[in-house]
Amino acid sequence: MNGAEDMRDQARSVSPMLQDRRIDRTTTLWIALALLAFLIVDVQTRIYEFQRNGAPVPMDRILLHEVTGIGAYMAVVWLIGRLAAWMPPGQVRWDRLLPFHFASSVGTALAVIGIFVGIRKVLSPILLGEPYVFDADPLGGFLYEYRKFALFYVAAVTLFALRRQLAYRSEELEAARADASRSHRITLKDGSRTIRVEADAVIWMKAASNYVDIAVGDRTILVRGTLQELAEQLTAAGVPAMRVHRSYVVNGRHIAGCRPDGEGGLSVTMTDDTEIPASRSRRDAVERYLAEGRGVSQR
């Protein structure tokens, strides 16, 4: 076993909980960097507004308010990640999901307001020489802050959920490629079923929106996935998967012949008598492959 395989096996041996926490830490870092960028832009915007109006720029006030506001958001990002994990969008019914996250967003917003108000009350007399007052109308002030925070909360929960789904998908694809390399079979998702077929039996594949049509023997299967993902499985299984068109991948071992299509490309005939278009940019690769005697008709 080489070093790369060793590392992959170690990664797969990590518990799902630790993997989830690792994913969430990365997502938290991304959100924190985005908040930092927003802080820089927001400070510059506030400075510009004062300068445009010809007023003195209260830099100490701007920095105190903006840094404490964004800092309070950063302080609760990890909590939002936990809330997203407890009630993940796409995996929980809406009648449970919406009430939970609405209540959580209100509670988290109160925590954010409590953080920045507390810090400002301590630092404002020291830095600005005046007491800090949150709002003469506390309820109105909360609603004003909540409108802003709610958008951030929704975006953060969505990002945490999407990052986990993408990570799980990446792990599934890696596992499928590793299995294809060992067993010379590829894994297909047909609705709720998982199908494993011999890689050599695949004749051609065609992209169909978010699905792929795969010709296997005398039948065609419509599966979820992308053309690139399935082509990578074929390659891992030792099959010469050739991208002959943006919408088609063929198994080179099933090419029976080809002929010019009159438009600079080729019409590739497969062993099931299907005619597959090969674009002009990929014509040379097909002809070179057949010239090397690797097509069915050259054997």
pLDDT in tens, 42-78: 999 999 999 998 889 899 999 999 999 999 999 999 9
Is a pLDDT exceeding 50 seen at residue 8? Answer: no
Tokens of residue 164, six digits: 């986990």
pLDDT at 59: 94
What are the chain's domains? 3-174 (no CATH), 186-298 (2.40.50.1020)
Kindly report, residue by residue over 68-107, the tens digit of the pLDDT: 999 999 999 999 999 999 998 888 889 999 999 999 999 9
- Of the candidates 36, 30, 69, the residue with the CA atom closest to the CA atom of residue 159: 30
* pLDDT average, residue stretch 132-161: 94
Is a pLDDT exceeding 70 seen at residue 15? Answer: no
- Of the candidates 274, 286, 265, 261, the residue with the CA atom closest to the CA atom of residue 204: 274
Kindly report, residue by residue over 123-134, the tens digit of the pLDDT: 999 999 999 999
CA dihedral of residues 165, 171, 174, 180 (deg, nearest 10): -90
* Percentage above 90 pLDDT, the chain: 61
Tokens of residue 62, six digits: 């701007």
Tallying the residues shown for the chain, one arrives at 299
pLDDT at 214: 94
b (16+ CB within 10 A) / e for 9-42? eeeeeeeeeebbeebbeebbeebeeebeeebeeb
pLDDT at 294: 63
Q: Which residues pair with 197 in a beta bridge?
A: 186
Q: Which residues pair with 255 in a beta bridge?
A: 270
Kindly report, residue by residue over 223-242, the tens digit of the pLDDT: 888 899 999 999 999 999 99
Mean pLDDT, rounded, of the chain: 88
pLDDT at 170: 82
Confidence of residue 198 (pLDDT cuts 50, 70, 90): very high
